[in-house]
């Protein structure tokens, strides 16, 4: 009985794989496919904390399946340089022994301002659903939306003026943005939106927005990016 059940399951799996291959082949055969080249630049930060904006850029390559004259699905891989800048934090000064420092004249405790900049580089894969509105040939408006997933591949966090530290670290020190105990989470996922002007079905100038759904920093920040993009369809 067990052998018969296993044989039936194997046959069912083979049929399912065969059907999926036929469907995928049919979609590929009936859909026009395009290679996409994309670059972009703008601003990035976190949208649920008090972080400040930093510059961002992205560059990558993608692939598009045209489902009809008005609709398509695209994906690809982007190298995305994101980051966030934390507002200056007031911290107490300490001596080399770790004791608090007091002004010799006034007797008041000495404080300083600590600034933090985090640079976070990601490999990001969006899956975008695109709708095209024809204005007049060859002018179009494109509306795009879809999810993305990303993984952090590098970056550094710079700390200035942390006078709680000792020696040269009081002025400046750095650590990896990802991987350290104080670092950010590598995985990110969210939603992407874009509105673009397209000319002759080859050149697309767009306004883009990404909103992360996963907490990236230890303080609970979520990535947010606004940027202009240039895409060329081969």
Answer whether 227's CB lies under 8 Å from 41's CB: yes
Question: Which of 212, 207, 210, 198 minimizes the C-alpha distance to 229?
Answer: 207
Give 185-198 pLDDT, tens digit per residue. 999 999 999 999 99
Question: Long-range contacts made by residues 131-136, C-beta under 8 angstroms, separation at least 24?
Answer: 131/70, 131/71, 132/69, 132/70, 132/71, 132/72, 132/198, 133/70, 134/70
pLDDT bracket for residue 181 (50, 70, 90): low
> Longest Cα pair distance anywhere in the chain, in angstroms?
92
pLDDT of residue 64: 95
In this prediction, residues 92-103 reach a mean pLDDT of 76
Model pTM score: 0.77
Give 106-119 pLDDT, tens digit per residue. 888 878 788 889 99
Q: Tell me how many helices (H) and strands (E) the chain has.
A: 1, 10
At 229, give phi and psi (nearest 5°): -130, 155
Give 106-165 pLDDT, tens digit per residue. 888 878 788 889 999 999 999 999 999 999 889 999 999 999 999 999 999 999 887 777
pLDDT of residue 4: 55
């Amino acid at each position: 009985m067990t052998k018969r059940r296993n044989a039936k399951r194997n046959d069912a799996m083979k049929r399912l794989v065969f059907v999926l291959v036929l469907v995928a082949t049919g979609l590929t055969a009936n859909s026009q496919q395009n290679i996409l080249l994309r670059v972009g630049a703008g601003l990035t930060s976190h949208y649920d904390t008090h972080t400040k904006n930093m510059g961002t850029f992205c560059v990558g390559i993608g692939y598009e399946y045209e489902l009809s004259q008005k609709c398509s699905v695209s994906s690809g891989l982007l190298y995305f340089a994101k980051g966030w800048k934390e507002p200056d934090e007031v911290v107490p000064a300490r001596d080399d022994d770790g004791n608090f420092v007091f002004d010799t004249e006034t007797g008041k405790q000495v404080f300083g301002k600590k600034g933090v900049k985090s640079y976070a580089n990601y490999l990001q894969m969006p899956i975008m659903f695109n709708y095209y509105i024809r204005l007049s040939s060859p002018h179009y408006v494109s509306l795009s939306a879809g999810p993305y997933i990303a993984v952090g591949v590098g970056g550094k966090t710079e700390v200035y003026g942390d006078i709680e530290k000792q020696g040269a670290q009081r002025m400046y020190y750095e650590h990896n943005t990802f991987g350290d105990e104080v670092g950010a989470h590598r995985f990110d996922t969210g939603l992407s939106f874009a509105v673009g002007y397209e000319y002759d079905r080859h050149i697309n100038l767009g306004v883009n927005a990404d909103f992360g759904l996963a907490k990236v920093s230890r303080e609970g920040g979520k990535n947010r990016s606004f940027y202009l993009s240039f895409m060329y369809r081969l």
